[in-house]
């Protein structure tokens, strides 16, 4: 075997060894990443289920009114929610003087149900 062939064989062996070591390190890194992902996922699921056990039902209420006689923008709006039941409504002065009254309820079982009334103008 010539010196150059021997040198090439030694370099090839060193190169193969280095590539094998890098592949082994990469495989270990992937394994570590998979393990970390599993641990994070398990922790997240535990926190999610723990949070879900202490679920609070949604509650809120709001209302507002606009009574601008100069522009004719007159309306009242309200809504409140307690758990799975939301009730609300609004009144609106229409351009022809009628008042539109809408009241609604939203439930998990019944969905959205509204009643709409149109009241005639009242003159003073």
Read off the pLDDT band of 69 (50, 70, 90).
Answer: confident
Question: How confident is the model at residue 47, as a pLDDT?
Answer: 52
Share of the chain above pLDDT 90, in %: 47
Question: How confident is the model at residue 113, as a pLDDT?
Answer: 94
Question: How confident is the model at residue 34, as a pLDDT?
Answer: 61
| 46 domain-assigned | no
Mean pLDDT (whole number) for 12-35: 64
pTM above 0.85, yes or no: no
Q: Considering just the CA atoms, what is the radius of gyration of the chain in Å? A: 36
Number of domains in the chain: 1
Question: How confident is the model at residue 50, as a pLDDT?
Answer: 52
Residue 106 belongs to domain spanning: 16-39+59-119
Burial state string for 108-118 with b = 16 or more CB within 10 A and e = fewer than 16: eeeeeeeeeee
| 52 domain-assigned | no
Burial class (CB in 10 A: 0-12, 13-18, 19+), 103: middle
Question: How confident is the model at residue 117, as a pLDDT?
Answer: 96
| 95 domain-assigned | yes
| 112 domain-assigned | yes
More confident residue, 31 or 122: 122
| 87 domain-assigned | yes
| 2 domain-assigned | no
| 47 domain-assigned | no
User: E strands within 10-84?
Assistant: 59-68, 73-82
Q: Residue 13 pLDDT more than 70? A: no
| 102 domain-assigned | yes
């Amino acid at each position: 075997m010539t010196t150059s062939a021997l040198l090439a064989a030694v370099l090839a062996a060193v190169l193969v060894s280095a590539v094998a070591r890098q592949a082994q390190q990469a495989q270990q890194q992937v394994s570590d990443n998979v393990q970390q992902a599993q641990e994070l996922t398990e922790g997240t699921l535990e926190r999610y289920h723990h949070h879900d056990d202490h679920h609070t039902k949604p509650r809120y209420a709001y209302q507002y009114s606009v009574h601008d006689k100069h522009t004719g923008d007159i309306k009242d709006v309200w809504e409140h929610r307690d758990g799975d039941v939301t009730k609300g409504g609004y009144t609106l002065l229409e351009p022809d003087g009628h008042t539109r009254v809408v009241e609604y309820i939203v439930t998990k079982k019944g969905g959205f149900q509204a009643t709409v009334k149109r009241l005639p103008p009242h003159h003073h």
